[in-house]
Amino acid sequence: MTSLLITAQAASGGAGGFLISIMPLVLIFAVFYFLLIRPQQKKMKEHQGKISAVQKNDEVVTGGGLVGKAMKVDDEYVEVEIAKGIRVKAVKATLSDVMPRGSGKPAND
C-alpha cells in the first residue's frame, strides 16, 4: 500500500514538473504568434485584397519593378502599359503594389 502512495505522489509531482518545463515553450510560441505571425498574416491579407481589387487605370508595380497603368484586368492577368503604346501582360499574383487612379505624380517633377 505504501508503494502505491509513493508512486501516486511521484506521478503527480512529475506532471507538475512537466507543465512547468513546457511553460517557457508555450510562452515563446505565444510571443512569436503575436509579434511575428499574426501581423504578417494581416499584411498578406491586406496585400491580397489590394491585388484582387485592381481596376483599369490603376497604377501598378510588378514584382520585377516595372511601373505602369493597368489597361485590362482579367482573373489571372493584367495588361500593363509601361510606356505610351507599350503594353506587357503580367500575372496578377506577381503585382507588388497597386496605387489608385491619379495618385502618381509626374516623373519630371
Residues 23-38: what's their mean pLDDT? 94
pLDDT at 16: 79
Dist. CA 93–CA 62, nearest whole Å: 9
Question: If you average pLDDT over every residue of the chain, what do you get?
Answer: 84
pLDDT at 107: 52
pLDDT at 104: 56
**Cβ atoms < 10 Å from Cβ of 98:** 20
- CA distances to 9, 13, 100 from 6, rounded to whole Å, are 5, 11, 72
Of the candidate ranges 15-19, 84-88, 90-94, the one whose mean pLDDT is the lowest: 15-19
- Return the residue matching grid coordinates 481596376: 55
CATH code for position 62: 2.30.30
pLDDT at 70: 94
pLDDT tens for each residue of 57-87: 999 999 999 999 999 999 999 999 999 999 9
Confidence band for 37, pLDDT divided at 50, 70 and 90:
very high
pLDDT tens for each residue of 3-13: 444 454 555 55
Is there a single domain that holds both residue 5 and residue 27? yes
In terms of residue numbers, what domain contains 84?
55-99
Question: Does the predicted model carry a pTM greater than 0.85?
Answer: no
Is there a single domain that holds both residue 42 and residue 24? yes
Examine the fold and report which residue of 33, 52, 71 is the final residue of a domain before the chain moves on: 52
